Every structure is written in C-alpha cells, then in structure tokens.
Chains A and B, each alone.
Chain A
Amino acid sequence: MKKLALTLTALTAVAMTATAAQAEIKVGFVTSLSGPGASIGVLYDKGIKAAYAYKDKVGGEDIKLIKLDDGSDPASATQDARKLIQQDHVDILIGTATAPSTNAMMAVADEMHVPFIAVSPVNIKPPKDGHLWGVAVPQTPSLMVKVIADRMKREGIKTAGYIGFSDAWGDLVYNGAKLAEEAGGPKITTNERYSRTDTSVTGQALKVLATKPDGVLIGGSATQAALPILELHKLGYKGPFYGTPAMLNADFVRVGGKDVEGVQVSAGPVIVTSQLPDDHFSKKIGTTFHEIFQKVNGGDADDGFSGYSFDGWLIFLQAAEQALQHAKPGTPEFHQALMDGIYGVKDLAGVHSIYNFSPKSAYGVDERSLVIVKLVDGKWVYQP
C-alpha cells in the first residue's frame, strides 16, 4: 500500500512538472456573475468571451483563461485573486465588475507582483518609488465628466444642477464636475444624492429645481439613473439632461421611456461603432469586435462594459508578445516582462480608446476615448 502511494506521488510529481514545462500563458479573469454588480459583471464576461474567441494564442503559445465569480464582494475578489495566483499560477489578472472589488484585486496584484488589468474605473495612484502592478482600461471618471462638461459649455449651459448616487460613483462624478467648473465649465448649483433602492427623489429634485439650472448632470448609473429625470420632468423641469457612460444601459432606456429622450452622455466610441466616420481609430477594431461578440454571445454589444474586457485583452496580447521574447510563462521574470510590456504599449487602438501606458499613471486614455451620444427614439446617436 505504502509503495503504491509512493508510486502515485512520484507519478503526480512527474505529471505536474510536465504541465509546468508546457509554456502556456494563464490568464485569471474575475467578474461579478452574482450579487448587485452582476448586471454589468455579465457584460464583462461576454466581452472576455468575445476577446478569447478573437485570439486565444499569442506568439505561438496557447492562452488558458480561468474565470472566477467574485459575487460583487471585495473580500471574495481578494480571495479569487490570491487563489488564481497561488493555486492556478496565472501570469496576469483581469477584473472585475465593481470599483471596490477592482481596488481589492489591485492590492493583491501589487503585493504578489503579478500584472493586473483593471476593467472597471478605479481610483489608484502609483507609489512614489517604483510602479503599480496594474493598469486600468476604462476612461477616468473625471475624463468622462470633462468631456460632457465641455459639451454642456459648447451648448451654452451656464449653470447645472447635480444629482447623483450617494456612493463612490456619485462622488467621482461630482468631483469631476467641480474640476470642470474650475476649468471654466458650467457652474454646479447642487450636490444632491440618492441611493439605488430609494423609493422617491422628490426632495432632491425640488432642491435642484429651486436653483433654476440651465441643465442637469446625472451622477447615477444604469436603471436607476432614470429616476431623477422622471421626477424632474414630473415637477415640470424642461431643461436638458447630461450624464456619463454609466447610463448607457438598455434598462435605463426601458425604464425611462419617453422621459429620457434627448439625454446626452459621454460614451466610449464602441457604443456607436457603426455610426463612426471611417477614419476613426476604433472603426476597424470596433467592427471586428461587434462581429465576434454577435457570433459568440448571440446578441448585439450595445454596452460599453464588454468593450473594456476586449480592450484589456488587446493590451494583454500586445504585452505578452513582447514578454515572450524575454522570459518563459509561469516565472516571476515573465510577470516582470509582462508588466514592462504593458507599460510599453503605445498607440494601441482599441474599441474604446488609443492606449498609451507609462509607469507614471494607471490610466492610458485621453479625450479621444469619449464621444458624445444622444438618445433619440430609444437609440444612442453619435453627435460629432
């Protein structure tokens, strides 16, 4: 019996070295398939499916994709990240659907020195000595607000009421709007907050109304971003509404109905790929993305989130190609090379943006990554 056990152990050991020797690149992907973040978590998942179908090999090496659900919980996201690194020995992490969980994964990546590509907007600053072990794909919230604030200014909006979520997202949009105000954008007259599960925003809407703003900036996301618009219309407000990409959501349109017509938001170009001029950077790759997405997931990619997963994958592919020339997958040297490769990404055209990364910042996007779209007859229409 003992002999048998020994033989088995030996065999397993041999088998394990054999797998280790295979130079396969392992990617750990975390998203929220359950919990409150699931509605966008599912979209990230669809995006990564499309990305994997787009390319599952790099530099002649196979890519293995390991997916985990974090249940919209930062603690589980931390556990998932550790499990992927320690048990599955992944070379790179991509994730996840909610900002707190993404920050949690960033912390793990920094600690374990494994590159991380964040697909949610995160608020991270590189340390004074050295660099972060990760970058974020999405446009920064302040950029999202800046682009829409510029548009408000162009349309002659002098004062704007603000009403947003009473969470980190509401803060990010409000701070962005305040920054834009300092830079000569519209003056923000209110800072009203509500939460996703609120039953009424009458009080907040009245306060916005009392300041008689030229326009209203909404800092909510998804379905419930429609709530203040519906309420303000009910109270007789006639001015225009502006928002962020967080409102690009089929359910926002469904719930808002007629009332949300004419709302303008800043958006990644992937939302309106087919309406973009041919010389736009994201036209070609965006068209490819939409075709693959349709084939893999059987529906149209009418959201911005799946595009972030896809762009994250593009960044990884380019970095991996570089890194493979320097080290073998599965080694700490490869992690370093991969991170260097990510920071070496220059002028990479994705479906959302042209990416230029550097160790100085976690973000690699600029104003080209956002266009203005307007809701007309339930469809988002590109506004040049």
Chain B
Amino acid sequence: MNSQIAAFLTIDGVATGAIYVLIALGFVLIFAVTRVIFVPFGDIVAFTALTLAALETKHMPGTVGLVAALAVVATLMEIFTLLRAKDPGRIPRALLFYLILPLAPAAVVWLTAGASIPLPLRIVLALALIMPISPLLDRVVFRPIADGSVLLLLTVAVALHFALVGLGLLFFGPEGVRTESLTDYQLILGSIPISGQSILIVAAAIVFSGLLFLFFEFTITGKSLHATAVNRTGARLMGIRPERAGTVAYLLGSLLAGVSGVLISPVNTIFYDSGFIIGLKAFVGAIFGGLVSFPMTALGSLLVGVLESFAAFQSSSFKEVIVFSVLIPVLLWRSYTFVDSEEDIDE
C-alpha cells in the first residue's frame, strides 16, 4: 500500500462513514427518547433510495401503498383508544395527525405519478413520503408496549425489521436501483480525485449533526426531547408528553435516514434488503457512543467507515468480520470505563 492508495481509501472510508454517522445519530436519538433500538432504521434508508429511484423512472413508488396502509391502521387504533378513553372530542385532531398529514405527500405523489418532476422536488417528495413511516410504526407497534423492557422493545423491533423487509420486496420488487448522480463535480486534491458526491455526503453529515446540536440546545422541543431521554417519569411530571417526544424523535430520525438514503442511492445499488447491513454498521458506530453520546457516535461511525474501507483493501473476504470484530474491544472498553446506566431500574 502506498500513500496514494491510503488517501483513496481514507476518502472512501470517510464518505461511507458519513453515511453511517447520519444513521447512527438517528439510532441514538430514537433510543434515547423511546428506549427502542430501532432495527428497521436501515430499511427506512433503503426505502428512501427505492422511492427516489421510482420517482426518477416515473413509476409509482411502493411507499405510497405502505404509508396509506400504515396511516389507516394507526388512525383506527388511535380512534379506538380515544373512544375507549371516552374522549371523542380529540378524534378530529387524531384524524389530522394520523391520516391527513401522512397521506398528503402520498396523495401528491399519487396525483403526479408519471409526470416528470425536477430532481430537488423529487428528493423533497421522497423525504416527505418516507418521514411518516417511522412515527406511524411507532404508533401501531411500539406505543402499546412503550413501558415494556428494553429487551422486549428490541425483540419487537427485530420482528418489525423482518416484516418491513417482506413488505419491501412486495412493494419495490427484488431488483436493485441506482439513481442519477446529484452532482458531477470532481475535486482534484494533489493527484487524488474526490467526487462531488462524497463531498456532499460529508457536508450533509456535518450540517445535520450541527442542526441536531442547535435543536437540542436552543429549542423547547429539543429540550423536552432531551428531558424525556434523561428521565421519562421526571419529564412527564414536568408536563412533557413522552408519546409526543417519541413521535418527534422518530420524525427527526426518519429525516436523517431519508437524507442518507438520498445520498447513498447514486453511489451504490440499493436493494429492498440492503438497509439492514448499513444499519448494522451504523449501529456499531452508535455503540461507540454507548447509545447516549452524539459526538462519540459520530466519531465511532466515521471510524467504522474508514476501517471498512481499509479492511476491504487488505482482505476483502474478511471485511465484515473485521468490522464487526471491533465491537468486542469496544464493548469491553465501555463495560470497564462506564458505570451502568439506570435504564432498566424500575421506576
């Protein structure tokens, strides 16, 4: 290996790592607020890419059907809950949030199906289509068991992942997609070409990490999210609704997943089941931060990306083995240096 190859590998690794950063931040965000290790998160990434590709080829994205089905189920569940709580006055509000808002982007896509839409608008539409999925899944699957143990929530999340992969095959078909490049710009640094796409990915990771920081530091919603993450019961006593905080966390997380899906789809072919392994590697990154610390998560994810890139060069057949083996020393290090969180102590 010479320095030029090392530079190539580092750039490639940082770009891949930046994708993992976005996803891992979403993991930590959702976990901190809802205690759910949202395994299907990677699938959301893949679904965004597939949605964007479908819009590009002027096909109806399968996401429309998925969102519509989820919205109807979530609305029915919400109405049922409200009726049982003898609170029918809140039904119109539930209709607005669970039926009309999620269905609005789906309706737009449905109405404009076949029309050629400019790229920026396609991206916005794809994101708008993807964003309701996680909050709706939260309402349908996780809210009824919100007070369960972390292990129960994880098990359900794994099951949900398998269900989503099945639905992905149903809605998107078995073939992979690749969308057109967002930019053809290329920067030559020394003798190393850096594609505009890689720069875009890294920039997006930095911008969204920054926005997340600002959101948590300077907005009331961000602070209420933080409060819920720190102490659920305490937050509730202060008048913060954990359900609402959860929904916001899922929405934000989906946005991060959606953005990484948009960024990754021109770089690589994405299949309906590609998301899982991407999500898993991002999860390794999130473990670095103990599923708590955002900066450590970002660093860890970058490290995973770079490690993956070098491992692919050194010994491509053992690439995954090397990446996932890193988990072991990290877990050891964490268990020795950090005190146990009070996560599972009964309130």
Within 8 A of A (CB), among B248-293: 264, 267-269, 271, 273-274, 276-278
**Could you tell me if B316 and A255 are in contact, using CB atoms closer than 8 angstroms?**
no
Which of A99-107, A189-197, A310-318, A331-339 forms part of the interface with chain B? A189-197
CA gap between A190 and B109 in the complex, in Å: 47
28 sample A-B contacts, Cβ–Cβ < 8 Å, listed by A number: A35-B169, A38-B169, A39-B175, A166-B316, A166-B317, A193-B319, A194-B316, A196-B271, A197-B274, A197-B278, A199-B16, A199-B264, A200-B268, A201-B312, A202-B12, A203-B9, A203-B12, A203-B310, A206-B8, A210-B5, A223-B269, A223-B271, A224-B269, A227-B268, A235-B8, A251-B175, A251-B176, A255-B177
- From A34, A38, A194, B312 is in contact (CB under 8 Å) with A194
**Could you tell me if A226 and B269 are in contact, using CB atoms closer than 8 angstroms?**
yes
The verdict on A207 contacting chain B, using a C-beta distance below 8 Å, is yes
The verdict on A204 contacting chain B, using a C-beta distance below 8 Å, is yes
**Could you tell me if A200 and B176 are in contact, using CB atoms closer than 8 angstroms?**
no
CA gap between A206 and B6 in the complex, in Å: 10
**Could you tell me if A197 and B271 are in contact, using CB atoms closer than 8 angstroms?**
yes
**Could you tell me if A203 and B316 are in contact, using CB atoms closer than 8 angstroms?**
yes
Tell me which residues across on chain B come within 8 A of A255, comparing CB atoms.
Answer: 176-178, 269
Tell me which residues across on chain A come within 8 A of B312, comparing CB atoms.
Answer: 194, 198, 200-204
Tell me which residues across on chain B come within 8 A of A224, comparing CB atoms.
Answer: 176, 269
The list of the 5 closest CB pairs from A to B, nearest first, reads A203-B312, A203-B313, A39-B174, A202-B12, A223-B176
Q: Give the bracket for the number of chain A residues in contact with chain B.
A: 20 to 34
**Could you tell me if A206 and B9 are in contact, using CB atoms closer than 8 angstroms?**
yes
Tell me which residues across on chain A come within 8 A of B176, comparing CB atoms.
Answer: 223-224, 251, 255
The verdict on B320 contacting chain A, using a C-beta distance below 8 Å, is yes
Tell me which residues across on chain A come within 8 A of B308, comparing CB atoms.
Answer: 200
Residues of A within 8 A of B (CB): 34-36, 38-39, 42, 166, 191-204, 206-207, 210, 223-224, 226-227, 234-235, 251, 255
Tell me which residues across on chain B come within 8 A of A34, comparing CB atoms.
Answer: 166, 169
The proximity string for B residues 168-208 relative to A, scoring 1 for CB distances below 8 Å and 0 otherwise, is 01000111111000000000000000010000000000000
**Could you tell me if B8 and A204 are in contact, using CB atoms closer than 8 angstroms?**
no
**Could you tell me if B268 and A206 are in contact, using CB atoms closer than 8 angstroms?**
no
Residue of B nearest to A166 (CB): B317
The proximity string for B residues 145-183 relative to A, scoring 1 for CB distances below 8 Å and 0 otherwise, is 000000000000000000000100100011111100000
CA gap between A202 and B169 in the complex, in Å: 28
Most chain B CB within a 10 A radius of its CB, from A34, A166, A201, A203: A203
**Could you tell me if B269 and A203 are in contact, using CB atoms closer than 8 angstroms?**
no
The verdict on B91 contacting chain A, using a C-beta distance below 8 Å, is no
**Could you tell me if B268 and A199 are in contact, using CB atoms closer than 8 angstroms?**
yes
The proximity string for B residues 2-31 relative to A, scoring 1 for CB distances below 8 Å and 0 otherwise, is 000100110010011001000000000000
Tell me which residues across on chain A come within 8 A of B316, comparing CB atoms.
Answer: 166, 192-194, 203-204, 207
- From B16, B174, B313, A206 is in contact (CB under 8 Å) with B313
The A/B interface has a contact count, at CB < 8 Å, of 91
The verdict on B311 contacting chain A, using a C-beta distance below 8 Å, is yes
CA gap between A38 and B168 in the complex, in Å: 13
Tell me which residues across on chain A come within 8 A of B228, comparing CB atoms.
Answer: none
Tell me which residues across on chain A come within 8 A of B313, comparing CB atoms.
Answer: 203-204, 206-207
The verdict on B309 contacting chain A, using a C-beta distance below 8 Å, is yes
| A112 CB, nearest partner CB in chain B, Å | 31
**Could you tell me if B175 and A36 are in contact, using CB atoms closer than 8 angstroms?**
no
Tell me which residues across on chain B come within 8 A of A207, comparing CB atoms.
Answer: 313, 316
Tell me which residues across on chain B come within 8 A of A234, comparing CB atoms.
Answer: 195
Tell me which residues across on chain A come within 8 A of B274, comparing CB atoms.
Answer: 197
**Could you tell me if A38 and B267 are in contact, using CB atoms closer than 8 angstroms?**
no
Q: Give the bracket for the number of chain B residues in contact with chain A.
A: 35 or more
CA gap between A197 and B42 in the complex, in Å: 12
Q: A200-B309, A200-B312, A202-B8 are in contact. Are A36 and B174 (CB under 8 A)?
A: yes
Excluding A193-B317, A198-B312, 11 further A-B contacts by CB distance (< 8 Å) are: A35-B169, A39-B173, A197-B271, A199-B268, A200-B312, A204-B312, A204-B313, A204-B316, A207-B316, A223-B176, A255-B176
CA gap between A38 and B271 in the complex, in Å: 12
Residue of A nearest to B277 (CB): A197
Within 8 A of A (CB), among B285-310: 308-310
CA gap between A39 and B176 in the complex, in Å: 10
- From B8, B174, B267, B320, A195 is in contact (CB under 8 Å) with B320
**Could you tell me if A38 and B12 are in contact, using CB atoms closer than 8 angstroms?**
no
CA gap between A193 and B314 in the complex, in Å: 11
Q: A36-B174, A166-B316, A195-B320 are in contact. Are A203 and B273 (CB under 8 A)?
A: no
CA gap between A204 and B311 in the complex, in Å: 9
| A38 CB, nearest partner CB in chain B, Å | 4
**Could you tell me if A206 and B169 are in contact, using CB atoms closer than 8 angstroms?**
no
Within 8 A of A (CB), among B211-262: none
Tell me which residues across on chain A come within 8 A of B174, comparing CB atoms.
Answer: 36, 38-39, 42
**Could you tell me if A36 and B273 are in contact, using CB atoms closer than 8 angstroms?**
yes
Tell me which residues across on chain A come within 8 A of B177, comparing CB atoms.
Answer: 255
| B47 CB, nearest partner CB in chain A, Å | 15
| B336 CB, nearest partner CB in chain A, Å | 32
Residue of B nearest to A171 (CB): B317
**Could you tell me if B311 and A203 are in contact, using CB atoms closer than 8 angstroms?**
yes
**Could you tell me if A206 and B175 are in contact, using CB atoms closer than 8 angstroms?**
no
CA gap between A197 and B271 in the complex, in Å: 8
CA gap between A210 and B6 in the complex, in Å: 12
**Could you tell me if B5 and A206 are in contact, using CB atoms closer than 8 angstroms?**
yes
| B278 CB, nearest partner CB in chain A, Å | 6
Tell me which residues across on chain B come within 8 A of A196, comparing CB atoms.
Answer: 271
Tell me which residues across on chain A come within 8 A of B277, comparing CB atoms.
Answer: 195, 197
CA gap between A52 and B210 in the complex, in Å: 62
CA gap between A207 and B174 in the complex, in Å: 31
Tell me which residues across on chain B come within 8 A of A38, comparing CB atoms.
Answer: 169, 174
Tell me which residues across on chain A come within 8 A of B8, comparing CB atoms.
Answer: 202, 206, 235
CA gap between A198 and B278 in the complex, in Å: 8
- From B173, B175, B267, A200 is in contact (CB under 8 Å) with B267
CA gap between A200 and B195 in the complex, in Å: 13
